[in-house]
Every structure is written in C-alpha cells, then in structure tokens.
Amino acid sequence: MSDPETIVASASQTVGPFFHVGPARTDHLGRMASADTPGEAMHLRVRVLDGDGAPVNDAMVELWQADARGAFSARPAAGEAPPSFSGFGRLATNDDGWCTFETIRPGAERGAEDVHQAGHFTVCLFMRGLLRHLYTRIYFAGDPALQTDPLLGLVPEARRHTLLAHPCADGTTWEFTVRLQGDGETAFFDL
Amino acid sequence: MTDRRALEAGSQPPLLYPPYRSTVRRAPAQPLVQVPERLVDLAAPMYGYLPIDELDNDLTRQHSGEPLGERIIVAGRVLDEDGRPVPHTLVELWQCNAAGRYRHWRDNHPAPIDPNFSGGGRTVTDAQGNYRFLTIKPGAYPWSNHDNAWRPAHIHFSLFGRSIATRLVTQMYFPSDPLCAYDPMYQSIPDERARLRLVSQFDLSLTQPDWALGYRFDIVLRGRHSTPFEGRV
C-alpha cells in the first residue's frame, strides 16, 4: 500500500556490461587488506556461472566483511581518513567468470541479543541481465559456528551448502561459486 | 530492533523480465530467502568510501582536450522514501559519449570514440544530500536485445546510502525521449510513477548561462521508518 507521506523509491536498473568505465575502473578495490592488516590473510576466489553453466564474464562482485575480531568498520566522519581496512571490496569477473579478492578471514560477530553469527562475507552481485542486484553470503565450509548462524538458518537445509566456500590446497585460498540458476542454484536473500 | 520497511510494491522491476532477454538465463529461478526485519541489521552495516579527487565530478576535464557534445549539469538530491536527505554518501556515475559509444573493449558500436571522454565520475553528497556533476549528454545506441533495439540516452548511477539494504544501481533518462517507450529496461518497472522517477527534468535555474544545460535528477533510496504500524512480521 502506498503511504501518502512517502515518496516513491528510485527503481533499480541493470548495471549493464560497461561498468568497467565507472565503478570497476581499477582492480585496487580487490586488495582489501595489506600485510599490516591484523588477521589471517586469505584469498577469496569467486566464480559466477549463468543458467547454462557458462561463466559470466561481466559481473560486478561487491563484498562487505567484518575485521578479524568480527567488528565492522565505522563510517569515517566527513573529512576524516578511512580506516586502513574498510571491509569493502569490489571486482569485475574475468573472461572465465572469476575474480580474486585479497583480504583477511572475517571474524565471528557477536551482535546484539546474543546473536552469534559465523564468520562470513556479504555479497552484492550486479550484472547485465539482473534488473536488481542479488544479495548472498559466503561462509566457510567446516566452521562449527555454521550451526548457530541465524541467517544461514533461514536457508532451506538442502540449499545451505550453496553458501559455502571451500579451501584450496595452498591453505590460504578459498573458492566460492555462484550459480544463478539450475542444479545447486545459490541461495539469495531478500533483505 | 530494526526500523527498516519494505520498498513500496511496484517501484522495482522483477528479476525475470523476458522482454529483456539477458534476464532469462541470469535471474534466479528459486524464490529469494526472506530475511525478517529483526535480522536485517545483521546483514552488514555499510558505507561506501572511495577517495574523491576535486575533478571527479567533472567528466569534461579528465583529458587534455574537451569532449565533443552538449555540456550538461546533472544535479539533484539523494533522499530516502520519507523525504529525508541522505548526506555524505558516495554517488558514482558512468555513461557513453555523445555519439553513443562507451570507451570499453566490448562496445563495438561503429560510432567514434572520443579521446577526451572516459565516461566515469564520482562524488559525495553534501550535508543536505545534494550532488552535482558536469558531463556531456550521452547518445542513444543500438543493442542486440531484439530487432532494431536502441537504448534511450541514459546515465548509470550507483549509490550506497545508510545500510546494505539501501544499495542502489539505477539509470537516469532524459525528458520526452521517444525511445523509453520501446526500452525493456525502462518498461520493466511496473509503476508509472516509479518509471517517471528515473526521468530527469530540464531545469533552467540549474542551467549555467553560456555554458551548460541543467538537468535535475533526485534519487530516492529505501527509507527507514519507525512507525510500529507497518504490519510486517
């Protein structure tokens, strides 16, 4: 129902295929952490596949994450320098549908009301063919805190595995695949 | 306790909209997982911070020469659905040049590249939610969605707002553009008022004499709202 005291929101529109001339002009937003950032350094490789299983080579992937202690960085006051670790990352996928973030492993958050979340990345996904962006989360396979995470608990049990990143042999790289449709379709959230 | 409330129905396009062909293999087929209001604040606080240079909101001065085309000022306010300004929030834009060509390796429309135009800019809203860009008017261009398909002239906008739930990527159109009637992206928006929200208005008071035409474009992000009468569970 329309509320007479409100004004209509701007509609979402697709990011289109040419965002590289604007928001994804460089890949420096993929380097979220430096050698000085406290925490466990890791690479997060994200791959995006369409309904045919074909790589999406024109997706824009944004990440938000907490720091190693599980705290989100506060917004800097106007004119103030940002923190060295902001927890925000953004990359375009390459021809094979991959992008790789250099970051640190997010800590588990201890929020209000004793809500215990598992360490995770929040993802916003934009691409040609998405009139609205998609929200999802990336968790770590094998994390015991998955059992109590309140958002993961909202996902039908048979689909929870679609939100897990898996470790690579090098011990510091984790991989996550977004499947937009079909078998193993990634669970997306409506916030 | 969060005070978030849902976007008004009809203001947003559906994920699957077959007239826009690329949605068919990219829109999720399964229903989205609904997050109850009490958990939305867990979804991540967010701010968009990127360093802003003095000339980042002037797309006409990024090269040694001036870009070709009609100089325009695009300015407006960023508000929430309750009409409150959204201060100090990042606004990014990108667009093609006056001939309808993006400076992008995947754009093979046979229209000229302008060596003096890159097409990307950004700024931050002031304390009252105002932003302003100087750029050139983008051209229309063909695309392969359907027979004789042309995108209306448009500028892409990206905004952050106060939380992850207010993240918005949208497009600005120009008044009285006949191509909007044929454009599946524009037509995907169900509510006519919401479609018109994306159409900028020519504004003589914003127009800079002897220099650039002014177009006003206000952007409305999802609101925050503390009334207990929303009825959402």
In angstroms, the separation between the Cα of residue A10 and the nearest Cα of chain B is 5
Among B residues 27-66, those touching chain A with beta carbons less than 8 Å apart: 27-30, 32-36, 39-50
Domain total of chain A: 1
**Would you state the pLDDT for residue A1?**
47
Whether the complex's predicted ipTM is more than 0.85 is answered with yes
- A141: CATH: 2.60.130.10
**A92 in a domain, yes or no?**
yes
DSSP B52-76: --TTTTBTTSSSSSPPSS-EEEEEE
Please give the backbone phi and psi of residue A11, each rounded to the nearest 5 degrees, phi first.
-80, 145
CA distance B45 to B24: 32
Average pLDDT over residues B96-113: 96
d(CA B58, CA B119): 10
Shortest distance between the Cα of A185 and any Cα of chain B, in A, equals 7
Q: Which residue has the higher pLDDT, B48 or A7?
A: A7
Residue numbers in A near B120 (CB within 8 A): 21-23, 25
Inside any domain, residue A187:
no
Structural domain contains residue A58: yes
User: pLDDT tens track of chain A, all 191 residues?
Assistant: 455 578 999 999 999 999 999 999 988 999 999 999 999 999 999 999 999 999 999 999 999 999 999 888 776 666 677 778 889 999 999 999 999 999 999 998 765 555 688 999 999 999 999 999 999 999 999 999 999 999 999 999 999 999 999 999 999 999 999 999 999 999 999 98
Q: Is A11 among the domain residues?
A: no
Q: Which of B8-12, B79-83, B109-113 shows the lowest per-residue confidence on average (mean pLDDT)?
A: B8-12
- Cβ-Cβ contacts under 8 Å for B1 (sequence gap 6 or more): B38
For the CA atoms of B198, B45, B56, A77, the dihedral, rounded to the nearest 10 degrees, stands at 130
B182 is an active site residue: no
**Model pTM score:** 0.94
* Closest residue of chain A to B183, computed from CA coordinates: A13
The domain of A154 spans 19-72+81-179
Higher local confidence (pLDDT), B37 or A93: A93
Q: Which residue, among B25, B108, B130, B227, would best test binding to A if mutated, counting the most A CBs under 10 Å from its CB?
A: B25
According to the model, what pLDDT value does residue B232 have? Answer: 30
Options B17, B141, B186, B215, the catalytic residue: B141
Q: Report pLDDT digits (tens) over B196-228.
A: 999 999 999 999 999 999 999 999 998 765 333
- pLDDT tens for B147-176 read 999 999 999 999 998 888 899 999 999 999
Listed in sequence order, the residues at least 6 apart from A178 whose beta carbon sits closer than 8 Å to its beta carbon are A46, A47, A48, A49, A59, A123, A125, A136, A186
Predicted pLDDT at A111: 59
In a domain, A8, yes or no: no
Catalytic residue from among B5, B77, B151, B162? B151
Residue A9 lies in a domain: no
For residue A65, which residues of chain B lie inside 8 Å, CB to CB? 44
Residue B230 pLDDT:
35
> What does the pLDDT read at residue B2?
37
What per-residue confidence (pLDDT) applies to A112? 57
Whether A10 is in a domain gets the answer no
B2 or A31: whose pLDDT is higher? Answer: A31
Task: Judge whether B195 and B184 are in contact, CB under 8 Å.
Answer: no
Read off the DSSP letter of residue A38. Answer: S
Would you place residue B135 in the very low, low, confident or very high pLDDT band (cuts 50, 70, 90)? very high
Calculate ∠ Cα B85-B86-B91, nearest 5°: 125
The catalytic residue among B122, B154, B222, B224 is B154
CATH 2.60.120.620 at B21-221, yes or no: no
Known active-site residue B151: yes
Contact yes or no for B30 and A115 at CB 8 A = no
Local structure of residue B23 (DSSP, 8 states): G
Q: Hey, what are B121's tokens? A: 């800019």
User: Is residue B231 predicted with pLDDT exceeding 50?
Assistant: no
Of B22, B30, B220, the CB nearest to A129: B22
Distance between start and end Cα atoms, chain B: 12
From A8, A131, A185, residue closest to B193, measured CB to CB = A8
Percent of chain B surpassing pLDDT 70: 88
